[in-house]
Amino acid sequence: MEILTTVLSVSLISGGLALIIVMSEHFLNNYGECRLDINKGEKQLTVNGGSSLLASLSEHKIYLPSACGGKATCGLCKVQVLEGAGPILPTEIPYLSKEEIEQGYRLSCQVKVKTNIALLIPEELFNIRAYQTTVDRIDKLTHDIKGIRLRLPDDEEMSFKAGQYVQLHTKPYGKVKDSVFRAYSIASVPSERKEVELIIRLVPEGICTTYVHEHLSEGDPVMISGPYGDFYLRGNCSELVMIAGGSGLAPIRSIIYDVLEKGLDLKMNFFFGAVTKKDLYYLDEFAGLAARNGNFIFIPALSAPRPEDEWEGETGLITEVVDRFVENADDKEAYLCGSPGMINACLNVLGNKGFDQDKIFYDKF
Amino acid sequence: MKQDPDMVKIQNNMQPGSLSAEGFLGDDDRNLTDIINEDDQIVKRHGSSHQEIASRLREMTGAAAAGLGRPVNFGDDFIVSSEDHRGRIPCPFRDRFYADKRNTIAENRRTGKRLLWTDLNIHMIEVHGFYEGRGSSFRLEPAELVDFLFPESRRF
C-alpha cells in the first residue's frame, strides 16, 4: 500500500510539473500577433510571433536568399532591421561586418519575431517567388553529379539572370523528418522561362543532395523559390575568363548560352577543372559549342589524369592552366564558381595577371 | 553513465535528419557520454591525445587542400587528397562552430591502408573528444586512427 501511495504521489507531482511546464510554454512563448513593417510602411504584414523572421516572411511569400535553410551557416539572409529585433546573437556575428552591425543588419534566420519589427528589404527581392515544379528529366552526368530539369506550371514563368540560383525544397524522406532547402545555381539559359536546369553533386550524407540523388524521380513535384543572387553577367568588357570545378559549371553554362543566344560581342574562355576524366561532364556539348562559335574557347583540364583516361587535353591544376592561357587582364572580366580553395587560388592567379577585384565575380560553394 | 540534460540535447541533435542524412551515431546504442568516455580511454591507452590527433589531421588536411583535389605527398608515408562539397555544417555540440564540407582521404603508401575524415571530424575530436558513434559513416576508430596517423610510433 505504501509503495502504491508513493508511486501515485510521484506520478501526481510529475504530472503537475509537466502541466506547469506546458502552461508556461503556452504563456511565455506566446508572442501573439506581431506586425512586420517593411520599407517604412510600404508593406505591413501580420504574423504569429515565435518563428524566425526568415520563416515569417516566407509564410507571406517574401523569400529572402538562404543557402543553408536557416541554420546560420551561409549568411545570405541578412536584412536591415530598424527596430524590434532584440540584441544581436553570437551566431550572427561571423557574417556581419562592423558597418553592417552599425546599420542594423541581422541574419533573418536568427531573429525571432517576438514583437513588432520594422525592416528594409531591397525591392528586387519582392520578385522572388515560389514555384511548384515537376521533375521533367534526371540525367546522371558523372558518378556523383546529376542534372535535374524542372518544368514550371503551364501558367507560370521565371525571369532570371544567367548565373543566379534557386532554392530547392525537399520533402521528408527516410529518417529525415523535416523539409529543408538548399541553394543551387541555374544551369539553363534565361530565355527558357518555363524550365529550370540544376546540376547537383551528391554531398556524402547531405540531406538535400541525398534527397535529389536517391529519392527524386522524373514526374515528382518539387518546390523551388527564386531567382536569387548577385553572381550574374555584367559584360562591361570584351572578353570573359570563366573558371569552374565540379558542379560549379552550372552558372557558367547559363552565362555561356546567354551570351551566345543574345549574340553579345564577347570573347569567352571557359576553363573547366577536374581531377580525373570521370569527374568531367558536358565535354561534347561544350566542344560542339566551341566548334560552332568562334568567340567561345573551351579548355577542360585534368589535374591527375589516370592512364586509362587516355587524356590528351590540358593537365595541371586549373590555376596552372589559367596561368598558361590568360596573358593579362586587359578589358576582361572573370567569373569563377567552385570550392573556396579553388576560388582563392584563382583569385591569386588573376590578381597576378592584373585583374582588379571589381572585375572578378565569384560564387563560392 | 547517466547524462546531463545538455548532453541529451546534443545527442538528439546527432540523430539522422537533424544536421546530416544519417546522423553522427550510427547504430551505437550507448549514450553520448559513454561513447566519449570509452574513446577517451582508448586514445590514452594508445599514448595519444585528442589534440595531438586533431593537430595531425589538420596538418594533413591543409596539405591535401593545397592540391585542389589532386593527390599530394605528405611526408614519406602518405598520399593525401581532399574533396570539397557545397556548404557548411554546424557542429552538433551546439558550440557555434561551422565546418566546411570537406573530406580528406589519406593513404599509407606502404600498407595501402586508407582513411577518410571531414573538417567536422577534426573539430569534434579536438574540442569534444568525439569520434562519432559505431556504425556511423564518418566514425574514426580511435585505436586505428592513432596507429594510422603515427606509423613510426609504438604506442602501448
Please, are residues A101 and A18 in contact by the beta-carbon 8 Å criterion? no
pLDDT at position B109, please?
Answer: 94
pLDDT per position as a tens digit, B37-60: 999 999 999 999 999 999 999 999
- Kindly list the strands in the beta sheet with B114-118, ordered across the sheet, starting from the edge strand earlier in the chain: B72-74, B78-90, B98-108, B114-118
- Best of B19, B83, B84 to disrupt the A interface (most A CBs within 10 Å) is B84
- Alpha-carbon distance A183 to A361, whole Å? 18
Residue A364: its pLDDT value, please?
A: 76
Rounded mean pLDDT, A335-344: 93
Residue A109 in contact with partner chain B when CB distance is under 8 A = no
The CATH architecture annotation of domain A128-228 reads Beta Barrel (2.40)
User: Which grid cell is A21?
Assistant: 511546464
User: Does the CB of A340 have a partner CB in chain B at under 8 Å?
Assistant: yes
pLDDT averaged over chain B?
93
Identify the CATH assignment for A33-125 out of 1.10.10.10, 3.10.20.30, 2.60.40.10, 1.10.3720.10. Answer: 3.10.20.30
Tens of pLDDT along A124-180? 888 899 999 999 999 999 999 999 999 999 999 999 999 999 999 999 998 888 888
Name the residue of chain A whose CA is nearest to B63's CA.
A341
Q: What is the largest CA-CA distance in chain A?
A: 95
Q: Residue B136 CA to chain centroid, in angstroms?
A: 11
| Closest listed residue to residue B125, CA positions, set B150, B91, B156 | B91
Does the structure show a pLDDT above 70 at B153?
no
Q: How far apart are CA B132 and CA A233, in angstroms?
A: 44
- Taking the CA of residue B69 and the nearest CA in chain A, the distance in Å comes to 6
Pick from A26-30, A103-107, A299-303: least confident: A26-30
Helix or strand run (H / E) with residue B120: helix B119-128
Specify the long-range contacts of residues A307-313, CB closer than 8 Å, at least 24 apart. Answer: A309/A276, A309/A277, A309/A278, A311/A277
The percentage of chain A sitting over the pLDDT mark of 90, rounded to a whole number, equals 77
Question: Smallest Cβ distance to B71: which of A209, A304, A339?
Answer: A304
Name the residue ranges covered by the structural domains of chain B. Answer: 53-156
> Residue ranges of the domains in chain A?
33-125, 128-228, 239-364
d(CA A334, CA A352): 13
Average pLDDT over residues B72-93: 92
Q: Determine, for residues A274 and B69 on separate chains, whether the beta-carbon distance falls below 8 Å.
A: yes
Report the C-alpha gap between A81 and B149 in whole angstroms.
49
The contacts of residue A261 (CB under 8 Å, 6+ apart) are A189, A191
Judge whether residue A113 has pLDDT over 60: yes
> Of all residues in chain B, what percent carry a pLDDT higher than 70?
97
Contacts of B101 in chain A (CB under 8 A): 203, 206, 365
Q: Is the pLDDT of residue B155 over 70?
A: no
The values of phi and psi at residue A179, to 5°, are: -80, 140
Res A20 pLDDT > 70: no
pLDDT of residue A354: 97
A235: left (phi over 0), alpha (psi -120 to 50) or beta: left
Q: What is the pLDDT of residue A363?
A: 85
- Looking at residue B156, its pLDDT comes to 46
Q: Which of residues 16-75 of B touch A (CB under 8 A)?
A: 16-17, 19-23, 65-71
Q: Do A365 and B71 touch (CB under 8 A)?
A: no
Contact A74 B87 (CB under 8 A): yes
Sign of the dihedral defined by the CA atoms of residues A22, A27, A30, A33, in that order: positive
CA distance A84 to chain B (A): 24
Q: How many Cα atoms are found within 13 Å in the side-chain-facing hemisphere of A69?
A: 20
Q: Which of residues 92-121 of B touch A (CB under 8 A)?
A: 96, 98, 100-103
Q: What is the pLDDT of residues A51-68, one digit of tens each?
A: 999 999 988 989 888 877
Give the SS3 label for residue A178.
Answer: coil
- Per-residue pLDDT at B18: 85
> Above 90 in pLDDT, residue A21?
no
The pLDDT value recorded for residue A70 is 81
Closest CA to A166 of A128, A207, A134, A202: A128
Q: B85 touching A, CB under 8 A?
A: yes
Residue from B12, B25, B70, B85 whose CB has the most chain A CBs within 10 Å, to mutate: B85
Q: Does A167 touch chain B (CB under 8 A)?
A: no
**Cell numbers found for residue A159:** 525571369
Question: What is the pLDDT at residue A353?
Answer: 97
Residue A116 to residue A45: CA distance in whole angstroms: 10
Query: Other C-beta atoms within 10 Å of A83: how many?
Result: 11
Mean pLDDT of chain A: 92
Please count the residue pairs, one from chain A and one from chain B, whose beta carbons lie less than 8 angstroms apart.
Answer: 99
Beta bridge partners of A360: A334
Q: What is the pLDDT of residue A355?
A: 97
**Per-residue confidence at B86, pLDDT binned at 50, 70, 90?**
confident
- Segment A249-277 shows an average pLDDT of 97
Return the ∠ at Cα A94 (arms to A93 and A98), rounded to 5°: 60
Task: Indicate the range of A255-269, B81-95, B133-147 predicted with least confidence.
Answer: B81-95
CATH topology of domain A239-364: Rossmann fold (3.40.50)
pLDDT confidence of residue A26:
54
Q: Using CA atoms, how far apart are residues B136 and A264, in angstroms rounded to an integer?
A: 52
- pLDDT tens-place string over residues A68-89: 778 787 888 999 999 999 999 9
Q: Is the pLDDT of residue B66 over 80?
A: yes
**Average pLDDT of B109-137?**
97
Query: What is the DSSP code string of A72-139?
Result: SSS-TTEEEEEES--SPPTTTGGG--HHHHHTTEEETTT-B--S-EEEE--GGGGG-EEEEEEEEEEE
Residues A212-245: tens digit of each pLDDT = 999 999 999 999 999 999 899 999 999 999 999 9
